[in-house]
């Protein structure tokens, strides 16, 4: 076959498709193939350069981002203006989800650490989907709620662990004096 024509008939391998990427995320793992196709039409794929700002702390939030390729640093600034890294995220991770269902200011900043492809899901698109296809929107929101609940439980356990450590340290300091 003539090489110029071979590219026209070649399909994207399934693992490289946006639908496959979305179906592998915990948020969307329980969606049907039809629902994944609808989701695929809701999201926005965006490419960022190395060290490009995705959003700044205090910006109005309008949705979430999923990392398809590359990596992102989530950080905040202390009162002196110095950056404090909160997390480094890679492919399959997501961030900004707290602004998907309710308008709020961003509680931290996000910047790419290399060339990065992000998939955005925004509140306006989710609201439109809720009107057009409430069942799919419901499944999306249940997936989001499930994952956020798991994160909240993990954060609560970590907070208790840290409180216990601080309590043990202050008890041992009291005994030593």
Residue 131's pLDDT is what?
Answer: 92
Domain boundaries, the chain: 13-176
Buried b / exposed e over 11-38, threshold 16 CB at 10 Å, is eeeeeeebeebbbebebbeebeeebbeb
Instruction: Write the pLDDT tens digit of every residue in 113-135.
Output: 999 999 999 999 999 988 988 88
Residue 43 burial class via C-beta count within 10 angstroms: exposed 0-12, middle 13-18, buried 19 and up: buried
Which two three-digit tokens encode residue 101? 């269902």
| Residues 144/100, Cβ–Cβ less than 8 Å | yes
pLDDT higher than threshold 60 for residue 175: no
The class that CATH gives domain 13-176 is mainly beta
pLDDT score, position 141? 86
- What is the mean pLDDT of the segment spanning 6-16? 60
Q: Rg (Cα) of the chain, in Å, rounded?
A: 21
**pTM, to two decimals:** 0.81
> Which pLDDT tens digit goes with each residue over 48-80?
999 999 999 999 999 999 999 999 999 999 999
């Amino acid at each position: 076959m003539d090489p110029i024509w071979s590219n026209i008939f070649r399909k994207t391998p399934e693992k490289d498709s946006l639908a496959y990427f979305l179906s592998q995320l915990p948020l969307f793992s329980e969606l049907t193939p039809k629902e994944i196709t609808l989701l695929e039409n809701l999201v926005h794929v965006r490419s960022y350069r190395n060290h490009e700002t995705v959003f700044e702390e205090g910006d109005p939030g309008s949705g979430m981002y999923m990392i398809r390729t590359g990596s992102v640093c989530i950080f905040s600034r202390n009162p002196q203006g110095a950056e404090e890294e909160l997390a480094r995220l890679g492919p399959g991770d997501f961030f900004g989800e707290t602004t998907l269902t309710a308008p709020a200011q961003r509680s931290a900043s996000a910047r790419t650490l290399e060339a990065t492809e992000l998939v955005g899901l925004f509140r306006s698109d989710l609201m439109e989907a809720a009107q057009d296809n409430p069942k799919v929107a419901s499944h999306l929101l249940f997936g989001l709620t499930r994952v956020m609940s798991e994160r909240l439980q993990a954060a609560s356990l970590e907070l208790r662990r840290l409180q216990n450590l601080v309590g043990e340290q202050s008890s041992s300091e009291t005994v030593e004096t």
